[in-house]
Chains A and B, each alone.
Chain A
Amino acid sequence: MQHEPSTRPDTARTLAAGEPADAAAPVTLPTGRSAGCPFDPPAGLAELREERPLARMTYPDGHVGWLATGWSTVRSIMGDSRFSSRYELMHYPLPGGPEGPLPPAPLGDMTGMDAPEHTRFRRILTGKFTVRRMRQLSDRVAEITAEHLDAMERGGPGVDLVEAFARPLPALMICELLGVPYADRERFQGHAHTIMSMDVTPEERYGAFVGLQEYMAELVAAKRAAPADDLLGDLARDSDLTDEELVGIGGFLLAAGLDTTANMIAHGTFALLTEPAQADALRADPELAPQAVEELMRYLTVAHTSVKSALVDVELDGLVVKAGESVTLSLEAANRDPERFPGPDVLDLHRKATGHLGFGHGIHQCLGQQLARVELTVALPALLRRFPTLRLDVPAEEVPLRTDMSIYGVHRLPVTWDEV
């Protein structure tokens, strides 16, 4: 990295004694993935993690904040209430984002809230996403899985796995859980997709957000009139949420449940098909599934980054993050930290990937993680066992990657198999 003090923005920080001068040189967020390694984080992150797990970073809007890549650094920031998640304090880390501060989180968008507002929403919802409640959904997940695998088999070899399996399963489950009619999916899936896209204009994203809210407002009005026995119905009947909050929460949960697990199923299958020995291990040993899911969460890290902003000066790793500075947390770099996960770039389903940050950490750790675990634990082994000869139908480098979406994965996964 070239040191160019004359052209670099002021880093607002003096060098510590003995610190190499280059350590002050801000980087930009590495985003380019090499086509040959669809499962590896962008090149540059590993080097950065080794040299400075907390590095100065220049943001596209000119802000000079930080980039955290080391597992322990990322994890400690996620668990530290001196760092805020509020959007209006955040500088956007990717090019093409909004200039200047973001608007505050819309009502119900828990991702952009701090305590105590966040605590209130979280407390209302946690009891509905417990380990036990989600496990009770296993049979229903298995049923939906079997129906979709049956349909694949009937249609004969050759499908896009995203369309045939990975997308419908979590969509059906989140719809059933919330009480959103799956038949309405044309009305909300397009909006949710636009919200998750990185190459849309702010106007397009806002329009999609409004569209999703309009849909949810109609649904919430119906739930208020006749609360059904589902999550939105329960909230309409029992919670102290206002209509606007309920609409916000409903849209948030729906959007969060659609894209995330779908990409873990599709991208996880892609990874397993490129490592046939790992796929065979999962086929052979159903007991391996829970552990395999944790390793896939670590290895793939489909939600790449999170951004926090310091509320006060915080000393970390011998450096000072000043109040107001944003820190981009690279979850994918943290999950490949060799100090925490030896040989991190190898997919090893027998590894104990405990402590991975694939679902985040701290107060914002994924609310739906236990649902995701149930879906993945049921769906992936069932798919592999039903189709013992499942394989990619195109060369791996032709699988279209979601480098344009905030949740990584594949747009399509053409697969085929031998008929029995």
Chain B
Amino acid sequence: MDVHVDRDRCLGAGMCALTAPRVFDQDEEEGLVVLLDARPPEEQRAAVRVAAGVCPASVITLTQDGSSPAS
């Protein structure tokens, strides 16, 4: 699983940092998403999927094998 974030459209709601804190953080200044791990290990992936699902601005996208969209 590859994780991508679009900081330009991020709202800083913090749902990702709340849901998957090992993979996402917020920067100190603007509170926008910071990706800590673009290829999270197996045990983090469920939380990452939830984080992508609850992001209010839908700025987290997941792909598999670097290309095809992950379900």
Residues of chain A having any CB pair with chain B under 8 Å:
78-79, 122-123, 126-132, 354-355, 360-363, 365, 367, 369-370, 373
Contacts and interface: CB of A to CB of B under 8 A. Distances in A.
Interface centre among B14, B21, B57 (most CB of A within 10 A): B14
B28 interface: yes
A130 B56 contact: no
A183 to B, nearest CB: 30
B13 interface: yes
B69 interface: no
A15 B57 CA distance: 34
B14 A370 contact: yes
Interface of B: 11-15, 17-19, 21, 25-32, 50, 53-54, 56-58
Contacts of A367: 13
18 contacts: A126-B13, A126-B32, A127-B12, A127-B29, A127-B30, A128-B31, A129-B31, A130-B12, A130-B14, A131-B26, A132-B25, A355-B53, A362-B57, A363-B11, A365-B13, A365-B56, A369-B14, A370-B14
Contact of B17 (A122, A123, A130, A354): A130
B57 A122 contact: no
A123 B41 CA distance: 31
B18 A370 contact: yes
Given A129-B14, A131-B14, A131-B18, 17 more contacts: A79-B57, A126-B12, A126-B13, A127-B12, A127-B28, A127-B29, A127-B31, A129-B31, A130-B12, A130-B14, A131-B21, A132-B26, A354-B19, A360-B56, A362-B56, A363-B57, A370-B14
